Structure 1
Amino acid sequence: MNQAIICLLVSRKLPQAVTNYLAPSTVKLKTQPPSPRNEEWPEVEKAEKLARGAALKWASGVFYRPEKLEGLGHYRNRETQRNSSIQSRLKSTVQSYLEGVSTGLEQLRLAVQEVQSVCQDMGAARWALLDCADRFQDLQQMRALMAEHVQLASVVQVLPQLFSVHEVFSHTLQLLHGQQLLEAHAELMMMEHLRDDILSQLHLRGLSSAQATVLSYFSGLQELNESLAKQLWGIVGSSLKLVQEDPVLFVTAIRIIEREEKIDDTLLLDATFLPPGRPKGWRQKFYHVLQETITAAHFNAIRMDAEGPGLAKHLAALQKAIVSELQVVKDLMVQCVPAHYNILSVCTATYHRALGSHLQDILREDLDKQSLFLLLEWVLRMYPSPEVMGHPDLIPEVDVSSLGPLISPELVDQTERKYVEKVKASVLEWMQRTLEVEFKEWFREEEPEMDHQGFFQSALPVIVMQMLSENIQVASLITDSLQQKVYNMALEELEAFLGRSVEPLPPLPNPCRPWVPTAQPFYPWGCVPAPEDHQVPELVAPSTSMVVLSPRGEVPASLQAALDKMQKKACQLLLEELLLDLQPFYMQLPSRKWLSGSQLVNSMCEVIDRYTKDFSHVRKPAFTLLLMESELLVASQYLRALMQKKMVCKSKEERGQFCERLLQDATQLRELFCSLGLDRRQQSLEAVFALRELICLKDPALLSLEVLGFITKYPDVSDEHISTLLELRGDVSKDVRHVVLEMMAQNPQPLPEGYRPIFSTILVPAPELPFCLRKAKCA
């Protein structure tokens, strides 16, 4: 039983070992001790030991009880059957392997037989070739003789042509002289073909040394080529004339050029050999000659006059020539050349490029403003218009927009700036002369011109505005950028003109000044209108020919500043005259005589009234300004006189008299200015009334509250002003003054927007040192 189990395990464990290691012979499983063959296969022995051990382990586990031995026969039969099945399968597998090996061996035997047959055939062929080697040497000599025969036959065929080369050269030259260009070119091509064929054969055979002889023999071809090319380029140079009179000659030249282009293309495709002088590139030469002809005909002419009518005539001639010649190209020349030449586009681009270069050369010269304007107008307006490149006979084939700008935007901008500078210089010179004439007119001893309402007037503002407006309007005919540049220049010059209009006025007069014409102080007001009436040229649409007020009716800030400066200068001159006449009256304020009721303020009112009558010659906006400034001057000088510490109230009665005089003076002056047309709310004399309240206050202890209200209404008042006013009362102690000043320091008041300062312009005398004696004694 154990032997059967071991055999079973061996059959299960070693099917692959049997397949791989057993020789192609009968396989028999034995349990005998290891033989020398088993020693050669240690894996079989190891597998057998493992199988035996596994079988013993299995048997000991199954039959370890006596009752299990009853099924021993059943196990024996089952394992015997399985062992027989395995053996049969092993035998069939080994048999199939043996049959395959037998078939392979038979195929190898047949292959060996075939190889031996091939070797025998190759040996026979080798011996046959060795027998024919001598015969091959005889054939090589025959081949060389055949090649030489072929060359001699070729030479014999071309000998008549070679002998007639010089005769053909003479005939071709005669044809060229007779302008039989197609026939001459046909013979020329034949000679070139013969020469190139000979040179190609020499090149293929490596006979480069013989090429020089061939080239010298055909040297006449170079002269013929040059003569033909000269006639062709002469025809191309006069093509515009020929296509109108006799286009046959021009068409002949184009046909010859196309022949040469085809020959060039063919030779370039065959890169083995390129004959001398190829490629000729006559089509590109055609374009080059045509472009040079156009450029030389119109743009390389004798130097013309760049200024005045000479430039206008030159541009008119260019305009006429460009339009007429492009019409000839479009209607006639296009029909004489192949479509792929794009002759109209080439000519249009040539005119465009040459004209742009020509105009750039002109712009490099020092041109006047008329010439610059003419060039800008011609380049930006005329050139793309229907009168030149947009001509009805040229469109739609000619599209100038596809060619780019005639001159670069940078050059256009530079030219515009040059034009503006020229206009600026002209405007400046004109304004200066006009201002000098106007100034002489106003400073004559005669009364200035007045309008129907009695206001001083001058035609200068209208003339200046009209001149500036005309320059802006002219610039609007070109481009918006040029119009903007001229507009900015006009504003700058107008601003400078306003400044120059007050420069000739004399400085502040002195008591010994010479006589000054009455109209002199009013010169700026008549020379230039007030801001509300001042016209400023506006940048309007190009379609509008009117010049109105500035955009949105507003005066530019810089110009408004110049107007304000001019008004202040004029107002300053008038106020200086007024102050000079009022100064003697202010010298008497305050004084005991003034308190007694003198006619001091009445005299001041008479002087003011007299001056305001002169103000009536100025229009209302300026008149109101003068009136306001005069009233501010009167009020500030009145307050300045009160603060000079000339007087201190010695008693309550004197203080009351002081306050009564202040009330009468302020009321009289206020009524005067009201009667002249100045509203009370616009007057600064209210400060005198407020100051009076400080002096009239009976209880000094309430001064801090009163001063608080005063500084709230007049925030520009200082500690020195308040101290001087308190001293003017004569009854304020040092403690009260200290409380008032401390209250002011604790309640600083900011200046409200639009506040007209009055106290900040008043200087208070410095206080005397406490240890110093009176001035008279110190002196």
Structure 2
Amino acid sequence: MGTRRVNMRELEAAAKASATAKVTNTLNRPGQLEKIEQIKQGFVRKKASKEALLKSAMQQQLDGVRIGLNQLHHCLEDVSEINISMKKMFELFTDVPDLCKRLNDIKEENMRHSQYVTARENLKHIFTVPESVEKTKLLINEGKLLHTHQCLRDLENSRDDLLFELHKLPNQNPYENSMMKAYFADVQVLSNLLEKQLTFILSRTLNTVRKDPTVIVTALRIIEREEKADEESLKQHKQTGFLPIGRPKKWKEMAFQILEKSVSSKIEGTQVEEREDNKHWLIRYLELIRMTLLEDLRVVKTLCVPCFPPSYNIMDKFIQIYHGCLSIHLQEIIQNGLKGNENVTILSWVLKTYKSRDMLGHPDLMTHTENLPPLLPTAVIDSLEEEYLKTIEQNYMEWMQNTLKSEKEEWRSYTEPHSESYSRTAAPIIIFQMIDQNLQVAKTISEELTIKSLNLSIEQVILYADSFREGIIEFKNKYFEDRKQVVYYTQYMIVILNNCLQLQELGSQLEKQYTNTSSHDLSRNFNRLRYTYITLRNDSVQYLLEELFIDLDQHFDKLFTSQWYELNPADTIYVTIEDYFQDYRKLVESNYKYVVEQVLSIVGKRYLTAMLSKRISFKTYEECTKAAQRIMEEAWRFNNLFANLYNEFQCENHFDAVIMLAEVLKSDDDMLSFELHRVVEKYPDITEDHLLRLLSFRGDLSKSDIKDKVLHVDKPKVLHRSTVFKTLVFPKLVNINLNF
């Protein structure tokens, strides 16, 4: 209480201080004194408003307290009344045990009465069980299923009622139960007979529904009644613990099991051939399944749907049954082992045909099949695809080995290749036709498998290049061991070059067909294929030209020797090249161009090498001028030769360098420095050794003059390109030390 007073005093002091500050601030402003009455009235109104709000809040608080007190008072009265009622109820419970004892005789009498009533109600069935059993058997044999079921239900109800009465007895007698069950034992036999009859009818559902749908309807009515009886018996068992004999029968579940078994049997029975009878057995079998499935589903949709209760959802259920049985049976076929293209047949049928308009993809079936799982598990599909890829890989390896063996035999034969515009064999085209056939097969399965098959095919073509290279090298070595052993080496090397290029071109054409495929591995493999066969083509060109340059070696050795003037070896080189190119014209254009460029490069380089090898030197300027003139004539002649062979090549012409060096040789002393500057400017990677060797030709220059001329040549500081002189390296340098 003291704390509350202190708080009130503090609040009052704070309010006074706030009011004082507010009045001070108001009156400090100019012109406020004239408005003091107005200001005072404003404060008074605000005070009255605040006081009214405070009073209203206090009144609401008081009203709430009053209502709460009233409710507490009512609760107290209710608690008091409940307490009195509970005491009265406990007083009444004290009399219950005595009352139960007094009513025990009535309870026993009631139980006996219930048993007598049940016995009287079932008296007719109890005394006529044998006759009823025989009558029911007769009805079963006559096919009167509804009457049969009615009789059976009467017998079962009598048995179950009596057994239930025995079950309710506090002290059950096992002998009485056994005697009752034995007396009604034939009832369960009747139930089994009816179940067998229903099984037979349901197993022939699709045939029966076409001839006499009422038989199916009758069987389903009986099953539905038994399903309701199962539900009632299970409910009774939950409440009382009593479950009639043979319940639940689950005949609806049995019906679907029978349908599934009949579908499975039909699928197995559709197979009329084995692999030994017909290599196309699987294709024929799957087609028969397709036709059977469509016909059965048509019957189900048009005839079974009106007969079956809607709750059976028979169309969807039948599709699921067919789907499951097909899946199991196909997996059994796969586990038994497939051969050849049987993997492809199953994959194509499962992934394409099965989902197509010809089967479950039909517009009339799509609403029933959209939620079906895959026909075969992913692991099985992956296994089939892997087996298929292994099969085609093995086929590629065997076929390419046989192809290469056939090619090798042809190379070593004494038969000249067929003369055509361009010499080549059919092997590259056949290889890619085989690839195309495999891809067309893979397309019938899936795009993913097509890409895998394409990658595998390209990898096999790349691997073929290794064996192809080994065969070419073996062929070349055998030829150069004894050139008489192989008669048509040049012609078959031309065929090999053309085949290499064709394999690369066919690969590029195949790549264009799959440009929309976003596969990094595929793009990389195509690049590898191009690189592999272009490299093999280039190496094979060297093997081809090795023959030419073996024939030319002795003539290159005579260049710029004492025999150069006498025997004119350049003419022999010219004629030999021209002769060889009569055969080389059988090369396809790009190969021919490459060969021309290679021969031009090698011949020019070897001519320059011979020219700078210091085999001879001239004593006088006139001799040097004469030699230079001859060099230029030979260079022009070679230029004309290669221009006639192919006038659109883009490689560096080394004979232009020969001509320029010849200009240096025939230039007089005053122009020599200028000519050297021209050479160095055009061929910036020419070395001091090259220049010294060139000037050593001249007989009119001493070593000191040569040294002086070379020293005054300005070498470019930056080399923008490489020329032929970068590859011209001589084992022994000219013994003149210069510093550029």
TM-score, scaled to structure 1? 0.68
Once residues 438 and 145 of structure 1 are traced to their aligned partners in structure 2, the CA distance between those partners, rounded to angstroms, is 108
Point out where structure 1 has 5 or more consecutive residues left out of the alignment.
Answer: 1-117, 543-553, 771-779
Residue of 510, 516, 530 corresponding to 1:538? 510
Deviates more, 1:691-700 or 1:153-162: 691-700
Q: Identify if the C-alpha distance between structure 1 residues 311 and 614 changes in structure 2 by more than 3 Å, giving closer, same or farther.
A: same
Once residues 476 and 670 of structure 2 are traced to their aligned partners in structure 1, the CA distance between those partners, rounded to angstroms, is 47
Q: CA deviation at 1:405?
A: 3.2
Residue of 252, 273, 298 corresponding to 1:327? 298
Contact 1:450–1:456 at 8 Å: present in 2 too? yes
Contact 1:360–1:407 at 8 Å: present in 2 too? yes
Residue of 586, 596, 606 corresponding to 1:627? 596
Residue of 578, 584, 587 corresponding to 1:615? 584
Deviates more, 1:240-249 or 1:641-650: 641-650
Q: Identify if the C-alpha distance between structure 1 residues 679 and 349 changes in structure 2 by more than 3 Å, giving closer, same or farther.
A: closer
Deviations 1:303-336 (A, max 9, x none): 9524712222212221222122222222222222
Residue of 197, 217, 229 corresponding to 1:231? 197
Deviates more, 1:346-355 or 1:438-447: 438-447
Tell me, what secondary structure is at the counterpart of 1:448?
coil
Tell me, what secondary structure is at the counterpart of 2:239?
coil
2:423 corresponds in structure 1 to 456
Once residues 194 and 473 of structure 1 are traced to their aligned partners in structure 2, the CA distance between those partners, rounded to angstroms, is 71
Point out where structure 2 has 5 or more consecutive residues left out of the alignment.
Answer: 1-83, 515-523
2:59 corresponds in structure 1 to none
Letter in 1 for 2:510: E
Contact 2:118–2:162 at 8 Å: present in 1 too? no
1:579 corresponds in structure 2 to 549
1:751-770 mapped onto 2 (5 Å cutoff): 752=721, 758-759=724-725, 761-766=727-732
Tell me, what secondary structure is at the counterpart of 1:184?
helix
Once residues 207 and 701 of structure 1 are traced to their aligned partners in structure 2, the CA distance between those partners, rounded to angstroms, is 143
Once residues 540 and 259 of structure 1 are traced to their aligned partners in structure 2, the CA distance between those partners, rounded to angstroms, is 68
Q: CA deviation at 1:684?
A: 2.6
2:358 corresponds in structure 1 to 387
2:110 corresponds in structure 1 to 147
1:195 corresponds in structure 2 to 159
1:342 corresponds in structure 2 to 313
1:275 corresponds in structure 2 to 243
Q: Identify if the C-alpha distance between structure 1 residues 726 and 365 changes in structure 2 by more than 3 Å, giving closer, same or farther.
A: farther
1:345-744 mapped onto 2 (5 Å cutoff): 345-390=316-361, 395-396=364-365, 399-408=368-377, 411-412=380-381, 414-434=383-403, 436-437=405-406, 440-441=409-410, 443-451=412-420, 455-456=422-423, 458-497=425-464, 500=467, 503-505=470-472, 506-508=475-477, 509-510=479-480, 513-518=483-488, 519-525=491-497, 527=499, 538=510, 556-594=526-564, 599-647=568-616, 659-678=628-647, 682=651, 683-692=653-662, 706=676, 710=680, 713=683, 715=685, 731=702
Residue of 318, 322, 342 corresponding to 2:289? 318
Once residues 187 and 319 of structure 2 are traced to their aligned partners in structure 1, the CA distance between those partners, rounded to angstroms, is 36
Q: Identify if the C-alpha distance between structure 1 residues 499 and 405 changes in structure 2 by more than 3 Å, giving closer, same or farther.
A: same
Contact 1:586–1:638 at 8 Å: present in 2 too? yes
2:80 corresponds in structure 1 to none
Structure of larger gyration radius? 1
Once residues 383 and 141 of structure 1 are traced to their aligned partners in structure 2, the CA distance between those partners, rounded to angstroms, is 73
Letter in 1 for 2:290: Q
1:63-102 mapped onto 2 (5 Å cutoff): none
2:186 corresponds in structure 1 to 220
Q: CA deviation at 1:285?
A: 1.8
Contact 1:460–1:528 at 8 Å: present in 2 too? no
Once residues 180 and 402 of structure 1 are traced to their aligned partners in structure 2, the CA distance between those partners, rounded to angstroms, is 40
Deviations 1:554-610 (A, max 9, x none): 99433322332342233212211111111112222433453x575122222122222
Contact 2:115–2:165 at 8 Å: present in 1 too? no
Deviations 1:514-539 (A, max 9, x none): 25324233231454665897586537
1:296 corresponds in structure 2 to 265
Deviations 1:727-752 (A, max 9, x none): 767855699599979987x94636x5
Contact 1:487–1:537 at 8 Å: present in 2 too? no
Q: Identify if the C-alpha distance between structure 1 residues 455 and 292 changes in structure 2 by more than 3 Å, giving closer, same or farther.
A: closer
TM-score, scaled to structure 2? 0.71
Once residues 452 and 641 of structure 2 are traced to their aligned partners in structure 1, the CA distance between those partners, rounded to angstroms, is 50
Tell me, what secondary structure is at the counterpart of 1:358?
helix
* Identical amino acids, percent of aligned pairs: 25
Tell me, what secondary structure is at the counterpart of 1:275?
coil
Once residues 159 and 712 of structure 2 are traced to their aligned partners in structure 1, the CA distance between those partners, rounded to angstroms, is 122
Contact 1:169–1:221 at 8 Å: present in 2 too? yes
Q: Identify if the C-alpha distance between structure 1 residues 368 and 731 changes in structure 2 by more than 3 Å, giving closer, same or farther.
A: farther
| Higher helix residue share | 2
2:35 corresponds in structure 1 to none
Q: Identify if the C-alpha distance between structure 1 residues 269 and 638 changes in structure 2 by more than 3 Å, giving closer, same or farther.
A: same
Letter in 2 for 1:275: L
Give the count of matched residue pairs. 621
Letter in 1 for 2:557: M
Q: Identify if the C-alpha distance between structure 1 residues 748 and 213 changes in structure 2 by more than 3 Å, giving closer, same or farther.
A: farther
Tell me, what secondary structure is at the counterpart of 2:274?
coil
Letter in 2 for 1:143: I
Once residues 688 and 328 of structure 2 are traced to their aligned partners in structure 1, the CA distance between those partners, rounded to angstroms, is 77
Deviations 1:152-191 (A, max 9, x none): 6436525724444444344434433443332332233233
Once residues 208 and 183 of structure 1 are traced to their aligned partners in structure 2, the CA distance between those partners, rounded to angstroms, is 35
Q: Identify if the C-alpha distance between structure 1 residues 437 and 207 changes in structure 2 by more than 3 Å, giving closer, same or farther.
A: same
Deviations 1:272-329 (A, max 9, x none): 1341433222211211221122112213777952471222221222122212222222
Deviations 1:98-133 (A, max 9, x none): xxxxxxxxxxxxxxxxxxxx9xxx9xxx9xx99x99
Q: CA deviation at 1:710?
A: 3.4
Q: Identify if the C-alpha distance between structure 1 residues 317 and 726 changes in structure 2 by more than 3 Å, giving closer, same or farther.
A: same
Residue of 144, 162, 181 corresponding to 1:180? 144
Letter in 2 for 1:586: F
Q: CA deviation at 1:485?
A: 4.0
Q: CA deviation at 1:632?
A: 0.9
Once residues 567 and 100 of structure 2 are traced to their aligned partners in structure 1, the CA distance between those partners, rounded to angstroms, is 160
Q: CA deviation at 1:195?
A: 3.2
Deviations 1:467-505 (A, max 9, x none): 544444454444434444444444444445566556444
Tell me, what secondary structure is at the counterpart of 2:476?
coil
Letter in 2 for 1:330: K
Contact 2:498–2:591 at 8 Å: present in 1 too? no
Letter in 2 for 1:353: G
Q: CA deviation at 1:369?
A: 4.1
Contact 1:369–1:423 at 8 Å: present in 2 too? no
Q: Identify if the C-alpha distance between structure 1 residues 612 and 340 changes in structure 2 by more than 3 Å, giving closer, same or farther.
A: same
Contact 1:591–1:646 at 8 Å: present in 2 too? yes
Once residues 741 and 315 of structure 1 are traced to their aligned partners in structure 2, the CA distance between those partners, rounded to angstroms, is 91
Contact 2:667–2:675 at 8 Å: present in 1 too? no
Q: Identify if the C-alpha distance between structure 1 residues 138 and 538 changes in structure 2 by more than 3 Å, giving closer, same or farther.
A: closer
Q: Identify if the C-alpha distance between structure 1 residues 402 and 748 changes in structure 2 by more than 3 Å, giving closer, same or farther.
A: same
Letter in 2 for 1:332: L
